[in-house]
Amino acid sequence: MNALLRVWNHFEEGFIAFLLAAMTLVTFVYVILNNFYTLFYSLGDFFGGNEALLAIGDFILDLAQTMTWSIALTKALFAWLIFFGLAYGVRTAGHIGVDALVKLARKPVQRIIGLIACLCCLGYAGLIAVASFDWMRTLFTAGIGAEDLGHYGIKQWHITMIVPFGYTMVFIRFLEIFVRILRNQQTGLGLADEAAEAMKLTEHEEPKQ
């Protein structure tokens, strides 16, 4: 079980890195193509209407015009990054915790508050997972193509399926936290403490006397 968990954790990190890389690459290529053809047009005019250079400019311009799908693909990848990253943020304490008043309470009280907060998160994640699954199932039945991606065989439900999957993973992550709180392995949700991080950065930046 632990081995499978480690494999999944590594897959999470690798898949998030892949989504970021794919978004960056698609956007980079699109921007380059939309600006690079003018260089060959300018060079062609500079060399007295050189047909070879002008032809290269036309070729690059045609490539840029055929990449109308790039913006839609980037949006889809960004959506997948958000909803896939939700559970990763819970696991790595990436979400900011608003718990300044909670930390003033005693440990047993913090534990009770943590259990209540975790139950609220479980209810929210479960509700969104079920509702988004119904939404995805409706899109699956309709079979509507995705904007600017439909002629490549990509349907709307292919993109929206990440929503129920992502919130199901969030539910599982909060369930793990709930069990750890019950076992006294932690007291709260284990979210990021922005104030503490800021204090650490300040301490590192202070010059030594």
Instruction: Tell me the pLDDT tens digit for each residue of 71-110.
Output: 999 999 999 999 999 988 888 876 666 666 666 778 788 8
| Contact indicator for 99, 194 with CB cutoff of 8 Å | no
Residue 194 confidence (pLDDT) above 60: no
Instruction: Tell me the pLDDT tens digit for each residue of 109-142.
Output: 888 888 898 899 999 999 999 999 999 999 999 9
Task: Point out the least confidently predicted range of 13-27, 68-82, 178-192.
Answer: 178-192
Contacts within 8 Å (CB) and 24+ apart, 10-16: 12/84, 12/87, 12/88, 12/91, 13/88, 15/84, 16/81, 16/84, 16/85, 16/88
pLDDT, position 191: 62
Would you kindly state where each structural domain of the chain is located, as residue ranges? 1-67, 96-209
